[in-house]
Amino acid sequence: MPHARETAVYTHGHHESVLRSHTWRTAENSAAYLLRVLRPSMRILDIGCGPGTITAGLTALVPDGHVTGLDREPGILERARAVAEERGLANADFVTGDVHALGFPDDTFDVVHAHQVLQHVGDPVAALREIRRVTRPGGYVAVRDADYAAMTWYPEAAGLDDWLDLYRRVARANGGEPDAGRRLKAWALEAGFGDITATSGTWTYSTAEERAWWSGLWADRTVASAYAERAVEGGHTTPAELRAVAAAWREWGAREDGWFAVLHGEILCRVDAKDAQDA
């Protein structure tokens, strides 16, 4: 049986509104802090790859290497395979797996990347140790997670305050940590990494198109996704309250002066021989 802290429920699920967000992500807009260290022949593991759009971007940058996309959900991997095929990327494969018990030998990958994963993991330190195990000495571990408490917007909207409070309560009840971004460096230190570069990055939504997209996907996610079901089933809210939050999202999205920023914490850890021995 896994340790209790290792178990967590993925808060978002894979509703269309969630995939609408995930398929927007690219290596450039979601992993820029990693790209400078990539080399054409690297072997990369992309944990929590989802529909594979970041994976595809990484794959294109290592034409003489190989990328393995890993996710817990077999169904989402079919979409990832389709993205790779559409882009003519033959140097990628996709497998199911669990970040707490990766089915690869020690020192397998030059880079292990995880985007928006540790916030949904019951024991992020154990996950980082397992990630380090499969990363070769001299390789890199790259992790990026949002920090919900640091998200900010204008104009003020009580409904969005309600959304943020509710989301953080539901995520923690599911065993995750929604404010993961600020904790990544601390978790990496606890996991035994020594060479850590900690940075931050943002997504910003301000144009009419950006506001409509961001507010629309969160309005839909609030009432129709696995998150909505878990929020109600867990006794955190009611369907009526969720509808009010969704309406607040759409109202904010219609504001010409609307602005929303998502802060992410990022860590790029170099694995040295001592790290590998201690893992």
pLDDT tens per residue across span 219-240: 999 998 888 899 999 999 999 9
Please tell me the distance from the alpha carbon of residue 112 to that of residue 34, in angstroms, as a whole number: 10
What does the block give as tokens for 218? 């969160």
Quick one: pLDDT band at residue 24, thresholds 50, 70, 90?
A: confident
pLDDT, residue 2, reads 39
Cα 116 to Cα 5, 37, 140, 199, 235: the distances in Å are 18, 20, 17, 15, 26
pLDDT band at 1 (very low <50, low <70, confident <90, very high): very low
Token digits for 187? 């978790």
Residue 5: per-residue pLDDT: 43
Mean pLDDT across the chain, nearest whole number?
A: 91
Q: What is the pTM of this model?
A: 0.91
Please report which confidence band the pLDDT of residue 272 belongs to, taking 50, 70 and 90 as the band edges. Answer: confident
The answer to whether 91 touches 69, Cβ cutoff 8 Å, is no
Going by C-alpha positions, the residue among 85, 92, 86, 25 that lies closest to residue 61 is: 92
The CB density around residue 186, as the number of other CB atoms within 10 Å, is 14
The DSSP element (H or E) to which 266 belongs, if any, is: strand 259-270
pLDDT (tens digit per residue) in 131-147:
999 999 999 999 999 99
H-state helical runs in 124-157: 124-133
Q: Cα-atom radius of gyration of the chain, to the nearest Å?
A: 19
Tokens read off for 128: 């980082």
pLDDT digit string, tens, across residues 154-180: 999 999 999 999 999 999 999 999 999
Q: Answer yes or no: are the C-beta atoms of 46 and 68 closer than 8 Å.
A: yes
Section 54-74 average pLDDT = 97
Report pLDDT for 102: 97
The C-alpha atoms of residue 147 and residue 264 are separated, in whole angstroms, by: 6
What tens digit of pLDDT does each residue of 69-96 get? 999 999 999 999 999 999 999 999 999 9
Give the pLDDT mean for 86-107.
97
Residue 102 to residues 60, 78, 109, Cα–Cα distance (Å): 24, 20, 12
Contact 181, 147 (CB under 8 A): yes
Query: Concatenated DSSP letters for 184-231?
Result: HHHHHHHHT--EEEEEEEEEEE-SHHHHHHHHHHHHHHHHHSHHHHHH
